[in-house]
Structure 1
Amino acid sequence: MNAFTRRSQAGAVHTMWLVSIMILWLATLALLYVTNADIASSQTRAADAEARTVQAVAKLDVAIADHKSLSDVVGYFDATDISARANITALKLDLDAAKAEAGNVLGGPDSTVTVDQTIKALISAHQAALLAKQQADTALSSELADRAAADQRTASLDTQYKAQIAQLRQDLSDEQNRSSTQATGYDRQLVDLRDQQQASDDSARSTQRTLDEAQLDANRAAALAEAQIAALAAERSPVEPGQPDGEILAVSADGTVAWIDVGSRNALRPGTRFDVLRLGKGGLYTGKGVVEVRRVEHDMAIVGLLGEADTFDPILPGDVVLNPLFRRNTITRYYLLGEFPLSMSKEFVTTRLSDLGGSVDGTLGTGTDVLVLGHKNLADGEFAVELNETDEYRQADRLGMRIMRLDDLSRFLSF
């Protein structure tokens, strides 16, 4: 192979490399063009997307502003919370509730009202509330005015009281001056009274001598009266306490009715009660029950048992009867001393004793048979006098009267 051929081949190879490089360069330019076109298209689309995003953000900001404004009006937005959003659901629920309430007020529970009507109803209610507030303010102003007037009256009264106190102090000073003047006069009167006292003492000594002589005469008269009382006590023949008043003649089969040997000839009255006694060993009486007179005949009486009969110790013929208030063929005279309880008053005791054939004396005398003791006067407290320390008790004791306590005979007086 010659040099020309080698040069020809070398030129061909160079040309091929040149052509390849050109082709690669053209391909690169084509690829670069296509890439730039895509980038431009992408940038256009991105710009459009960014514009739409800006519009959406603007709409969102408007919506958020509207929500916030609405929330500020109805109270559904917390201004202190940066992330706070309007609670549209709660707002809608409250608007629906307000519309329903407005419907109830405007047209009944089935009425449908609009938001405008609801707002008008709320405005009307708000105006009514404002009117009520104005009325309350007016009332408060009136009350404040009344209090101011009261304060003025209080100040006026305080002034009057101070004037009265000043006058009273002046009166007190005048009275003290008058008292001092009177004290001087009283000193002079005291001297005169001492002179009079001396004269009175002389007269009293003379009177005392006269009283001593009168006391001597009174002692003589009292001794004579004591002698007469002793004679009356010796002549008195009281019935010995505990002596039977009668005897059981017969008893019914059931032991609840009996006959006694005391009748109208002995001054017996219906309603009189007797203790039924039997004579035991040693001459002592044992109680068997209480009977009450039901019917009185001439020489006997029918009595009924009070309470239930004792099957182991029944009333039998031969038993005796006793009542400390009853005296055969005699009207017993009583005198009531002391205070008597409401359940057993003096009026009641007087009536019952009269019903049972006795009598009650207004004053204690020599003809009185029985002294009935009540209770001492508790109204006098520690100064109350015991009944056995009274003049009546001492006189009854001297005259030999029978003395009984109300508690001992109250069961014979009850119905």
Structure 2
Amino acid sequence: MGSKRGAAHVSAIWLIVAGVLFLFALAFAFIAQSDMSTAQKSRDAALADKAEAESRWEEAQEVRRNVSLMLGWYDRDSVDQSSDVIEAKAALGVLRTTFSDLTDADPDFQSVLPKVVASFNERGRRIAELESQIQTLKSEVRSANDAGAQVAQQKQDTIDLLRQQLGDEKSAAESREGELTDRLATAQDQVSERDQEVRNLRIAATNQKRDSEETVRLKDARILDLTQKTRFVRGDFANDPDGKIIEVSDRLNMGWVDIGARNRLTTGMRFRVESGSPADRRFLAYAEVVKVEERRAEVVFSGKIDPLARITRGDVIVNRLYDPQGTRNALLIGRFSGRYNAKDLRTLLKRIGIHVQDELSHTTDFVIVGSQLYSDPETNEPLDEPRDPTDLPQYRDAVAQKVIVVSLQDIEEFLRGAGGVGN
């Protein structure tokens, strides 16, 4: 009976050792599967270990029945109830250390094993999910490879087409090269001819520039001369006195001035009579020339604004159009009719030494602006609407050339009426 108990004790120890080894194998499989990067290899190793463990499990069935007596799965009627409790508790402690789900509330292997199996199944499920993901990724890789192959084929087709086009272009380029070579030779001949023409043109341009510079020099001299000629109507000189009152007859409303025929004075000219004091130059009346002597002229006064203002000896006369020295040129722009038509105006201006030109030139001293036009000045055709003289090209050109502009009202102020033309 004692030998049987000793044999049973030895068998129980070996059964416990086998169980512990089996649990260590399960723990090793669980830990090995925590590495995601080697999941596939770990799975294969785990399956191999599982197969080996299952083989051992079949061999250790008898041993397991004996171990169950210690772990709580035993037949209460059995006479052999001896076991190594210390070793069983040590193995149980190792399980608690390996599996974090086990606690001190699990007193024996019967309560521990379900949790170990559940944890192992969870790892198996996760492995299955990873395998599914691997299959999905493999499918995506195959699709990407197929798409890459299609793109590569399209690329090759494009390359073949471009090579064909390049060959065609090369052939066309060679043909075009011959044509261009011939055209280049012709162009070079033409360039030589054009170079000679350019040289000739440069010589002509140099000569023309020299002539133009000479023309400009002459024009500048002419402008300087005209500047001096028109000095009497510009700036501070425009309103300088042209003469003085030397005698006055209040009863006859007449008087004498100190300029005459030697000053190119003619009958019919009108002057503004202003007070002789430079500090108080104010308008008094108009003085119209009725008789001209060598050094003096008789005038008739009219147009007084203030009947009480007296014209006295020493008062001055002013006419911005009057020039006692040179001949000036004027241009008529616009319509002239009624009191002053163009013909009569030309005659009156001629009397005071002003020549009327037919067109604007660099010798034009001033322009006289008339009324609105009702017919085209070039074709004499009626206009749909009256045209203002300031809209004419001649007027704009005159303004651009800084020619002095004189209105018809200024002419009426300083000249007699049309009735005096024949006097």
TM range (shorter): 0.3 to 0.5
| TM norm structure 1 | 0.41
